[in-house]
Amino acid sequence: MKKFSKLTIFLIPIGIAVNVVGGQLAVLLKLPVFLDSIGTFVVGALCGGIPGALVGLGCGLINAISLPTLLPYTIIGVLFGFLGSFLAKKQMFSKFWKAPVNGVVVAIISTCIAVPITAVLYGGFVGTGASVIVTTLMAAGWDVLPATFVSELSSELIDKIICLIIIFFVLKAMPARFVVKLPNGKHFIKEEQ
């Protein structure tokens, strides 16, 4: 951890807290989405893959304190950190129309990892609203894997598209004098001609 700049180290706890508080705010406003990976993507995009992954890891562990069954999903958070950095390097946070595209890509990737965990470990049951869809489909004669896939993908798509749109606005509103000091800042600053 020594090789990170001081600002990066101070941003990691902030990213974790933004994840947790963002999720709680969504619960408070009774929104049907999680929105608990904003901090991971922001830190990943601004500071690089490893700090982003650390945010995902920390956030997963803190979420696991209140519900330990979420522990296996931490791996997805870690991956989001790297994804955030990758998308920033590919200039995918530069235009608004790219935000929903990012959302779809991220949702598909996270579904592909979440489905095996949910289906194998918990037999399709995750304890969220999506479980209702799973059990309905399974009662209609579907197999565990496709039923979990459909329900996960539908909830992930909504969640991640909204999430990435919020992240786009947050990154856009970030003052340039601050962004330029961060490791990935060069991907966000446009040179004045």
Nearest distance in Å: CB 152, other proteins:
15
Q: SS3 for 34?
A: coil
Q: Are 122 and 144 in contact (CB under 8 A)?
A: no
Q: Which of 75, 103, 78, 83 is nearest to 166 (CA)?
A: 103
From the CB of 193, what's the least distance to other proteins, in Å?
27
Closest CB to other proteins among 114 and 162? 162
Count CB atoms within 10 A of the CB of residue 9: 14
Nearer to other proteins by Cβ, of 18 and 115: the residue is 18
Beta carbon nearer to other proteins, 18 or 106: 18
CB of 171 to other proteins, least distance (A): 10
By residue count, the chain amounts to: 193
Shortest spacing between CB 153 and other proteins, in angstroms: 19
**Nearest to other proteins of 71, 109 (CB atom):** 71
Which amino acid makes up residue 175?
P
Radius of gyration over every alpha carbon of the chain, rounded to an integer in angstroms: 17
Closer to other proteins by Cβ: residue 31 or 108? 31
HEC profile for 85-134? HHHHHCCCCCCCCHHHHHHHHHHHHHHHHHHHHHHHHHCCCCCCCHHHHH
Alpha helix (H) residue ranges in the chain: 6-28, 38-47, 49-66, 74-89, 98-116, 122, 130-139, 144-173, 176-179
Residues at the interface with other proteins (CB under 8 A): 1-2, 4, 6-7, 9-14, 16-18, 20-22, 24-26, 29-32, 35, 38-39, 42, 54, 58, 62, 64-69, 71, 121-125, 127, 131, 134-135, 138-141, 144, 162, 166, 169-170, 173-175, 178, 181
Q: Which is nearer to other proteins, 27 or 108 (CB)?
A: 27
Q: Minimum Å distance from CB 37 to other proteins?
A: 13
In angstroms, give the least distance from the CB of 138 to other proteins: 5
